[in-house]
Structure 1
Amino acid sequence: MEHTSKDLRVRRTLKAIRSAFYELVLTKNYSDISITELTDLAEINRKTFYLHYSSLDDLVKEVEQEIVDHILQNVRMSAEQMDVAGCVDNFYHYLDECDEVQQKLLCDSHYYFFYEDVTDAVLKSNAFSRFFEMTKHPDIVRSYSICITFIYRNWLKNGRPIPLDELIEYASMIIAKGYSGIIEKEA
């Protein structure tokens, strides 16, 4: 459900809902967030929430779509040119520049469903269609492509042990060349 009202009260209400949701995301797992808690924090009543969203999942879908749109803005050109390294570079820089809420939604294991929905939408977009159309088993290739985010999430979880640019270079090689592309050859 896209909200584009010009009514100031509606925009304030939607902003309050979104702010309350983001605050709860930072402190709770999704399964622990209730509509009552969200509406209390947003200082609105439940009925007002339901005027704008049919459920908490409806709000999540809206946030997911916004993030998909932002990711595609960042990687579309590289994807359309079938530039794997460019996709990884742009995507990692996007993730690195995300705010705390977006990083939690995309990288925290308690929000794995969110990450899966966003990743699925990005990889099924027109920008990525050529990557998969040229293969015999597009679903297998799409599954392999998901590794890009796992690499970043693990790097983040481990406290960023190497510089971002080195991570980008290494992840690009792994994705583009597979394991054989990163094995250190004996001298």
Structure 2
Amino acid sequence: MTGPTTLSRPAAAASGQGGPAVPARAYDIGLLLLRLVLGLTMAAHGAQKLFGWFGGGGVEGTGMFFASLGYPSPEAFAVVAGLTETLGGLGLALGLFTPLAAAAVAGTMVNAIAVKWGGGFFAPEGVEYELLLTLAAVALALTGPGRIAVDRLLPWLRTHRLAYGVAAVALGAAVAGVTLLLRH
């Protein structure tokens, strides 16, 4: 028999039942899985740009690609993109400063979407992959990392607030917009 003390947080909220809820283990494990896959994928993309790992071009090769796209100081932008993807990705994987890590990933992916925009929706020329990564990052910024995260150990981040996620996504969008304005 299921009562208010055995419902997960989402189920208790949906049923309108108050009272203490047990840890939402499935919810937390789902968020952990999403964070790990998205975060490590983005960190690997950043390592391609910074170090040439995993078949990437390194700073020089990525800089040449960025130059062809019209970015000023293309090697500097390659370093910024690589660091943003690497650090944002690792932050997501660890659940550390999750709203900011998610915003970093989302902002970087907004630039990727803008670059590929004319290629349609479906891969390999389209934006479906980049859009999926962007929206997964935004979802994590808004939901928080779950309970299996380093953020749970930090008193000021222990309780996720929707406002943190919204503010972080707005910041990521603003930085992405400025970056796109610098591109000719």
TM-score norm. by structure 1 comes to 0.26
